[in-house]
Structure 1
């Protein structure tokens, strides 16, 4: 991106003030059909470097191509051709053929490199790969011949994709609850601080405002989720995330999150049942989120059993859920009745995989495909051998459309 930024800046330095003004005008007019306009207030009275910086933020990898289009629109053809040639040097044709932003079907979503396990020395990626602007436009306007359409149709396109309320990114709140320190010090969750840090970083980079809590009892978790469901910001949001990380168990055949005062002998009631999250955020208790995707991520054990068994013919019991709500999906760190694992320094494997997959693939895949990639990569992880098998599980899904996160501004 630094090369692209410099190339655009160098060309804009050649423009006189009147030409720069016309260039900015093209940006706030939308340049051409299917290109999102930059709000006029973001560009007026801005110098060349500010304009380029905002173009890169707004259009990501498409910034250079859109600069070329804007230059041609103001009859700066020689400069446009020169910029286009230099862009090809930093954006090789081979890369364009592999991921053509104008053809969503050409984007490789099943490459073997994307399904390899993360290594033991894994570090959080430096950033999230932003979506291609034209890829997003083609997805949202796939059923229209005319892509230059107002935000009104943007909100009306309810055929197959959850449409964003913003023309740039997803917009919404995220609830992040992490239990780290427990009344019984032997239950402290070493490494959970890293999970909290990584999830907060990921959610903020996906443009969600994060409401964060630490070290809650079961009742406090319930109140936090209820308070979250009443937030007025949901009215203007298009989706939400709820992430809960703690110890867990299967109690009364239900998934339970253990509060920080839980004690098997003296305080067994300090729990929060995962299913209550669906009740708190359903259409009755949270009407502001009706028809909006609600993603629940749970990092917790779901029992004390190990995940590996000898191969034999069997018919496993199904874990049935009653679907009274809509537009939910719950992704849990392990299968029912099975323990989950966490590195005491780097945090849980489940959260690490989510961060890694979202950073590389949220630019092109909907959320169910992202979850599939997490599971596929964890299934291959050599650290989970024999009885210590670990595989995440999608529960209680009622999404009726594809939910793309559209990272990037």
Structure 2
């Protein structure tokens, strides 16, 4: 898609007086914290020159900033048309009917589930109202960057001595789609050793892009086990004679904490882990009786870790369609992120999985929230 052309065509609908108002927005900062464009660079009435200047000054977010400037001018219809055109060339995002029955939201997914075609978009009105009425209770997006941030995705599929994780390719495809649709830039790795996983997470923690982000995701999918009561992600070379080829989940927290990743202080850090945590089947028969600053900060805060199963329990995966945990996350986030914070979505994943008829008798599975230090509500605001 030619973003410049679409933006220029939109500005053609403004009369000269309105174009001056648009330029005034750019010179005075479209939103709080956004660096304005120097007035000297916008001494023109040529719409193509204005667009060139916006794209040069905001190379990653020119379209979004133009939409916001139009909204500030009460040119809401024009802003909506531009937003739709910009989205047509990006991840599929669409507005959805907000009147779907609540009970339908909590139904288990079907055995023939497929990833939704679109992610339901949040309305600007909902976002503005929420950030106004609940400002102290919500993680505020980084307005100057107009973007979500970075995501790290590590998927181990092929192992030297263990069974391959058939279906994990589908998980990788689905979760990458979801993260990109939510606005994250995804750094992807596949088939790593334990040491390589550690290096990838460490390097990710040093990424300069975190400074301008408002949150981050780390997703790990592999074989796993409990070692001395700690969750371990198995590297692709793991074997009874090479038991050191592991990465401990707790090390993610160490790499991304306030000491080692100050750029993510006061920003949500979401960790998703699809891996076994032991060899138990999960079910049991029970009888009737029975932020960077000079000031002091918390060493570790604003984390949430959602794991595919309880400690010591298997995680289940369909060899054709991928893991149930990832399927549910993609489905819930795609349909509900426009109105719910992340903790409520995790609850809905767990609630739906609890009622899934495919998990019967001893083969039970229930995801688990671990080591959570979120102190406010974290909304993803898809589409904005």
TM-score by length of 2: 0.76
Deviation per CA, 1:301-335, whole angstroms, max 9, x where unpaired?
Answer: 000001111135899xxxxxxx9611000000001
Extract unaligned runs of 5+ from structure 2. Answer: 1-5, 49-62, 80-94, 291-297
Partner Cα distance (1:378, 1:125) in 2: 18
SS at match of 1:210: strand
Structure 1 residue 329 corresponds to structure 2 residue 331: no
Divergent runs of 4+, >4 A = 15-30, 35-41, 167-170, 312-315
> 1:45: how far off?
3.0
Q: Which residue of 2 is the match for residue 320 of structure 1?
A: none
Partner Cα distance (1:118, 1:16) in 2: 44
Verify the 8 A CA contact 1:170 1:405 in the aligned structure 2: no
What is the aligned length? Answer: 330
Aligned with 2:113 (options 82, 104, 122):
122
Q: Which residue of 1 is the match for residue 104 of structure 2?
A: 113
Structure 1 residue 180 corresponds to structure 2 residue 157: yes
Structure 1 residue 198 corresponds to structure 2 residue 200: no
Q: 5 Å matches for 1:146-225?
A: 159-166=136-143, 170-184=147-161, 186-225=162-201
Partner Cα distance (1:44, 1:340) in 2: 59
Deviation per CA, 1:168-217, whole angstroms, max 9, x where unpaired?
Answer: 95421100000011112x51111111111111111111111111111001
Verify the 8 A CA contact 1:170 1:239 in the aligned structure 2: no
Q: 5 Å matches for 1:291-302?
A: 291-302=266-277
Verify the 8 A CA contact 1:302 1:340 in the aligned structure 2: yes
Partner Cα distance (2:289, 2:202) in 1: 41
Q: 5 Å matches for 1:9-158?
A: 20=15, 45=47, 67=76, 98=99, 111-142=102-133
Partner Cα distance (2:245, 2:11) in 1: 68
> 1:166: how far off?
2.9
Aligned with 1:373 (options 338, 348, 353):
348
Q: Which residue of 2 is the match for residue 287 of structure 1?
A: 262
Extract unaligned runs of 5+ from structure 1. Answer: 1-8, 47-53, 71-90, 99-107, 144-156, 316-322
Aligned with 1:398 (options 359, 362, 373):
373
Verify the 8 A CA contact 1:295 1:330 in the aligned structure 2: yes
SS at match of 1:177: strand
Partner Cα distance (1:176, 1:349) in 2: 18
TM-score by length of 1: 0.71
Question: CA 1:22/1:274 → structure 2, altered by over 3 Å: closer, same or farther?
Answer: same
SS at match of 2:175: helix
Q: 5 Å matches for 1:220-299?
A: 220-263=196-239, 265-299=240-274
Question: CA 1:119/1:278 → structure 2, altered by over 3 Å: closer, same or farther?
Answer: same
